[in-house]
Amino acid sequence: MTQQQSRQVQTPPISEDVRAELVEIGTRYPQARSGLLPMLHLVQSVQGRVTAEGIEACAEVLGLSTAEVSGVATFYTMYKRRPVGDYHVGVCTNTLCAVMGGDEIFERLKDHLDVGNDETTEPVDGLKDITLEHVECNAACDYAPVVMVNWEFMDHQTPESAVQLVDDLRQGNEVRSTRGPRICTFRQAERVLAGFPDGLADEGPSAGIASLNGLQLAQLNGWGPPPGRVGTDADRAQAVADQDRAAAQATAEDGQEGAAATQASPAGTKHDDAPGTGDEAQ
Amino acid sequence: MSTTSEPTTQHPEIDPLTPVLSADWGEKRSWTRAVYETGGGYDALRRGLREMTPEQVLTEVKESGLRGRGGAGFPTGMKWGFIPQENPNPKYLVVNADESEPGTCKDTPLMMASPHLLVEGVILASYAINAHHAFIYVRGEILHVVRRLQQAVAEAYEAGYLGRDILGTGYDLEVVVHAGAGAYICGEETALLDSLEGRRGQPRLRPPFPAVAGLYASPTVINNVESIASVPGIVRHGAEWFASMGTEKSKGYVLYSLSGHVREPGQFEAPLGITLRELIDMAGGIREGHELKFWTPGGSSTPILTAEHLDVPLDYEAVGAAGSMLGTRALQVFDETTSVVRAVLRWTEFYKHESCGKCTPCREGTWWLVQTLKRLEAGQGEEGDIEKLVDLCDNILGRSFCALGDGATSPITSAIEHFRGEFEAGMHTPAWELFPYRASSVFAPEVTPA
């Protein structure tokens, strides 16, 4: 496959099915325009960026001008005008992570991948593409320095571990988030952000080690809040009754619509805990 | 650093740490409804919807003294009370889960480990304000949190806790998990509303306040994740129980997030009023061979403090009296290897990048601040640069629609106040020569003072 062909394959058109999903996103909200951000995520899940075609499709669905949709798309940094590779690697270089080593990690990755900020690796047969970017604080400061891959946490990185990480990604090796699931592609991630669950919620730990430091110290010392009301047997009986009632109602309403349905995970998508993710809660 | 001190809370019989929000985080599969209910999850929902009127839930939250956990500390119950119930428009609850203030990392682990705690709080809060539609606006850059929220909401629908006729009480509620797209400004509540309406996230002029004209110009309450997640505990155990923790005007338990140069960074849930000295002790002390230089009490928008503030009770009043703000209790700790000029420049670059561009003082001012700070970092500062920074900050502070511009000035003016000498050194010596950057990183070779 030539590079040219590979680029073409990467931009499938906005099909009728995608259009139907765009419309469906709008129905989640009292006013359809509220769905514009998830709609643009859906466009990226199909085309790897926000294309002119994607903007036109959103505008059409919402009855807006393309200028209005463009105005929104260009405001938010997660929407990309240039094609994003299979994996988006974001190195936090806000102050805390930068000081803790994020700057050095970012420099090393730029050098290793031979790209600048917000640039994508040259396509090579047999290797996945990576788009490298420095990102702002990603709410994981207690795990600094932090790297995000397709917006999944890769905690406690070093320049060496980050190089290994991108090498694994490029070669298509399975990579797991330190506090999440197997890393999926950028486009799959964008589909989840558009509100279409991928069934991976049950992977990964409850919490990473840093999140548990206070809790474990409290448990070690027997510390906790003052005693409150304790759930009674009546509470438990009521809970069971409520569950029976919900099950009966679900059976009765089976097959019916509901705005809720668009939010629901597909049934039967339970997964085992991710084994051996290092930071797993004990 | 070896320290000991007595807890400074108003209630000495209360334990130093009080995990409530974080109580389940160590459980396997804590994010599932089954595990959440094992620990009494959704008991508060039954109590609230079956045994209490919306007014009673609101009163309970008012009496608990709960204040907004997103930074501003506004009393939550009072905010709910501002909703004009006679207004014929629908009422809305919007949860601000757009956690992105630098240093803030509490809502993310909460939603990842205990999404049902948030969902239960959403239902109770919506019930209290008579809302039938609620939105969780979560930042898009925390994908696994989005997954856990989506699943928790779906599970709550399956259990009959959301949808029509919840628990047979006749109360209806729809909840939508909505992922943002990368814009710090959308953590500002009116910008968040514009964003949730499918627009550029730019702040609105107030009044009217969101309580009167919020989402779709209808009465809207916007609360932080941790505020809403505190509600089930209050409803389940009562306002008095909640208020037995904390200080006189700062009630209850909160998540304190320690990051940076401490041995064991992480989340510590404690009654309001604990001190940084106590927290650093709990985090194993400052890293080996180093000492505290400066810290933020509540993210980068709160003026930095120093070692002389180690014993300030971390509640809204005392931190304010010390010249800063409690903010989001994002305690970023930096040791003596860290260049203040470098740290402040990086924060300022962040504000410049995130300024939405609506107001001139913020849009242009942050650009000028970055230019000046870059010179100082490179040791090429010019005569009068420090005065220029102070003057720029003076012209940004209070002159924009929202607090982003104000926040941008906080680290600069406070850093100049506490570490003016380092800015003066920027007239001739690069910051990286004064403070070799590698020495600050976690993979620096073990440094013992020569």
- CATH number assigned to the domain comprising residue B152: 3.40.50.11540
Beta carbons within 8 Å of A251's beta carbon, 6+ residues apart: none
Separation of alpha carbons A48 and A238, rounded Å? 49
Q: Is residue B219 part of a domain?
A: yes
CB burial of residue B388 (10 Å; 0-12, 13-18, 19+): middle
**Average pLDDT for A156-171:** 98
Q: Is residue B398 part of a domain?
A: yes
Domain total in chain B? 3
In this prediction, residue A246 carries a pLDDT of 81
| CA nearest to B174 within chain A | A260
Is it true that domain A84-217+261-282 has CATH number 3.40.30.10?
yes
Q: Is residue B446 part of a domain?
A: no
A7-73 folds as Arc Repressor Mutant, subunit A (1.10.10)
Separation of alpha carbons B112 and B139, rounded Å? 13
Q: Is residue B75 part of a domain?
A: yes
Last residue of a domain, one of B243, B264, B295: B243
Residue range(s) occupied by CATH 3.40.30.10 in chain A: 84-217+261-282
B372, B388 contact by CB (below 8 A): yes
Helices (H) and strands (E) in chain A, counts: 11, 5
Beta carbons within 8 Å of B322's beta carbon, 6+ residues apart: B305, B309, B312
Q: Is residue B6 part of a domain?
A: no
Which residues from B are below 8 Å from A242, CB to CB?
46, 159-160, 167
- Chain-chain contact of A193 with B143 (C-beta, under 8 angstroms): yes
Nearest to A76 among B182, B268, B346 (CB): B182
In this prediction, residue A234 carries a pLDDT of 76
In this prediction, residue B47 carries a pLDDT of 96
Last residue of a domain, one of B302, B335, B368: B335
Q: Which amino acid would we find at residue B354?
A: E
Nearest-CA distance from A3 to chain B in Å?
30
Same-domain check for residues B51 and B162: yes
Same-domain check for residues B351 and B330: no
Q: Write the pLDDT tens digit of every residue in A79-126.
A: 999 999 999 999 999 999 999 999 999 999 999 999 999 999 999 999
- Chain-chain contact of B200 with A200 (C-beta, under 8 angstroms): no
Same-domain check for residues B192 and B59: yes
Size of interface A-B (CB pairs under 8 A): 350
Separation of alpha carbons B258 and B238, rounded Å? 29
Q: Which domain, by its residues, includes B399?
A: 340-438
Does A208 contact chain B (CB < 8 Å)? yes
| CA nearest to B269 within chain A | A214
Same-domain check for residues B217 and B69: yes
- Which pLDDT tens digits describe chain B residue by residue (450 residues)? 334 444 444 456 899 999 999 999 999 999 999 999 999 999 999 999 999 999 999 999 999 999 999 999 999 999 999 999 999 999 999 999 999 999 999 999 999 999 999 999 999 999 999 999 999 999 999 999 999 999 999 999 999 999 999 999 999 999 999 999 999 999 999 999 999 999 999 999 999 999 999 999 999 999 999 999 999 999 999 999 999 999 999 999 999 999 999 999 999 999 999 999 999 999 999 999 999 999 999 999 999 999 999 999 999 999 999 999 999 999 999 999 999 999 999 999 999 999 999 999 999 999 999 999 999 999 999 999 999 999 999 999 999 989 999 999 999 999 999 999 999 999 999 999 999 999 999 998 765 544
Same-domain check for residues B191 and B94: yes
Same-domain check for residues B429 and B311: no
Same-domain check for residues B130 and B44: yes
A26, A43 contact by CB (below 8 A): no
Nearest-CA distance from B439 to chain A in Å?
9
Same-domain check for residues B344 and B227: no
Which residues from B are below 8 Å from A251, CB to CB?
none
Nearest to B443 among A29, A101, A139 (CB): A101
Same-domain check for residues B190 and B281: no
Q: Is residue B236 part of a domain?
A: yes
- Name the pLDDT band for A44 (thresholds 50, 70, 90): very high
Q: Is this complex's ipTM strictly greater than 0.90?
A: yes
Whether omega before B7 lies within 30 degrees of 0, making that bond cis, reads no
Same-domain check for residues B373 and B258: no
Last residue of a domain, one of B183, B218, B243: B243
- Name the pLDDT band for A271 (thresholds 50, 70, 90): very low
- Chain-chain contact of A76 with B442 (C-beta, under 8 angstroms): no
Q: Is residue B143 part of a domain?
A: yes
In this prediction, residue A281 carries a pLDDT of 40
Query: For the domain that residue B353 is a member of, what is the CATH number?
Result: 1.20.1440.230
Q: Is residue B78 part of a domain?
A: yes
